[in-house]
Structure 1
Amino acid sequence: MNIYQQIESEIKAASHIVITSHKSADGDSIGSSLGLLHFIKKLGKKAIICHPDKAPDFLYWLDTSNILLMEESPEKVTEAFKQADLIFCLDYNATNRVGPEMQSLLEESTSKKIMIDHHLNPEEFPFITVSETAVCSTSQLIVELIEQSGHIDLLDETIGTPLYLGILTDTGSFRFNSVQPRTHEILAKLLASGVQHHIIHEKLSDNNTESRLRLQGYAMSEKLEILYDYNVAIISLSKEELATYNYKKGDTDSLANLVLSIKGMKAAIVFTERDGIMKISFRSKGAENPVNVLATEHFNGGGHANASGGMSDLTVTETVEKLKELIPQYFSNEQQN
Structure 2
Amino acid sequence: MNIYKKIEAEILTASNIVITAHKSADGDSVGSSLGLLHFIEKLGKSAVICHPDKAPGFLHWLDTSEILLMDENPEEVANKISKADLIFCLDYNAISRVGPEMESLLAASTAKKIMIDHHLNPEDFPDIIVSETTASSTSQLIVDLIEQSDNLDVLDAKIGTPLYLGILTDTGSFRFNSVKPRTHEVLAKLLAAGVEHHLIHEKLSDNNTETRLRLQGFAMSEKLEVLYDYNVAIISLSKEELAKYKYVKGDTDNLANLVLSIKGMRAAIVFTERDGIMKISFRSKGAENPVNLLAKEHFNGGGHANAAGGMSELSVEETLVKLKSLIPEYFSN
TM-score by length of 1: 0.98
Superposed counterparts of 1:84-103, under 5 Å: 84-103=84-103
Q: What residue number does 1:273 align with?
A: 273
Q: Counterpart of 2:156 in structure 1: which amino acid?
A: D
How many residues are aligned here?
A: 333
Q: Give CA deviations for 1:187-245 in whole Å, capped at 9, x if unaligned.
A: 11101101011111110000000000000000000000011111100000000000000
Question: How far apart in 2 are the matches of 1:200 and 1:232?
Answer: 31
Q: Give CA deviations for 1:159-211 in whole Å, capped at 9, x if unaligned.
A: 00000000000011111110011111111110110101111111000000000
Offset at residue 66 of structure 1 (A): 1.6
Q: What residue number does 1:203 align with?
A: 203
Superposed counterparts of 1:251-262, under 5 Å: 251-262=251-262
1:125 aligns with 2:119: no
1:28 aligns with 2:28: yes
Question: How far apart in 1 are the matches of 2:203 and 2:66?
Answer: 20
1:294 aligns with 2:294: yes
How large is the Cα RMSD of the aligned pairs?
0.6
Question: How far apart in 2 are the matches of 1:246 and 1:66?
Answer: 27
Q: Give CA deviations for 1:248-281 in whole Å, capped at 9, x if unaligned.
A: 1000000000000001101000010001100000
Question: How far apart in 1 are the matches of 2:219 and 2:4?
Answer: 45
Q: What residue number does 1:7 align with?
A: 7
Question: How far apart in 1 are the matches of 2:92 and 2:144?
Answer: 17
Q: Counterpart of 2:117 in structure 1: which amino acid?
A: D
SS of aligned partner of 1:177: coil
Question: How far apart in 2 are the matches of 1:64 and 1:222?
Answer: 35
Q: Counterpart of 2:192 in structure 1: which amino acid?
A: A
Superposed counterparts of 1:318-337, under 5 Å: 318-332=318-332
Q: Counterpart of 1:11 in structure 2: which amino acid?
A: I
Question: How far apart in 2 are the matches of 1:223 and 1:173?
Answer: 25
Question: How far apart in 2 are the matches of 1:207 and 1:298?
Answer: 35
Q: Would you identify which runs of 4 or more consecutive aligned residues in structure 1 move more than 4 Å?
A: none
Offset at residue 109 of structure 1 (A): 0.6
Question: How far apart in 2 are the matches of 1:11 and 1:112?
Answer: 11
Question: How far apart in 2 are the matches of 1:184 and 1:325?
Answer: 40
Superposed counterparts of 1:37-56, under 5 Å: 37-56=37-56
1:66 aligns with 2:66: yes
SS of aligned partner of 2:201: helix
Superposed counterparts of 1:171-182, under 5 Å: 171-182=171-182
Question: How far apart in 2 are the matches of 1:256 and 1:307?
Answer: 10
Question: How far apart in 1 are the matches of 2:176 and 2:151?
Answer: 29
Question: How far apart in 2 are the matches of 1:176 and 1:68?
Answer: 31
Question: How far apart in 2 are the matches of 1:288 and 1:186?
Answer: 27
Superposed counterparts of 1:175-254, under 5 Å: 175-254=175-254
Q: What residue number does 1:107 align with?
A: 107
Q: Counterpart of 2:38 in structure 1: which amino acid?
A: H
Q: Counterpart of 2:27 in structure 1: which amino acid?
A: G
Offset at residue 328 of structure 1 (A): 1.1
Offset at residue 65 of structure 1 (A): 2.0
**Percent identity at matched positions?**
80
Question: How far apart in 2 are the matches of 1:87 and 1:273?
Answer: 33
SS of aligned partner of 1:125: coil
SS of aligned partner of 2:25: coil
Question: How far apart in 2 are the matches of 1:81 and 1:89?
Answer: 12
Offset at residue 64 of structure 1 (A): 1.4
TM-score by length of 2: 0.99
Q: What residue number does 2:139 align with?
A: 139
Question: How far apart in 1 are the matches of 2:169 and 2:8?
Answer: 27
Gaps of 5+ in 2: none
Question: How far apart in 1 are the matches of 2:92 and 2:195?
Answer: 26
Q: Give CA deviations for 1:132-177 in whole Å, capped at 9, x if unaligned.
A: 0011100000000000000000000100000000000001111111
SS of aligned partner of 1:172: coil
Q: Give CA deviations for 1:51-108 in whole Å, capped at 9, x if unaligned.
A: 0000101101111122100000000000001100000000000000000000000111
Q: Give CA deviations for 1:29-54 in whole Å, capped at 9, x if unaligned.
A: 00000000000000011100000000
SS of aligned partner of 2:65: coil
Gaps of 5+ in 1: none
Question: How far apart in 2 are the matches of 1:321 and 1:102?
Answer: 34
Question: How far apart in 2 are the matches of 1:247 and 1:134?
Answer: 34
Question: How far apart in 2 are the matches of 1:64 and 1:216?
Answer: 26
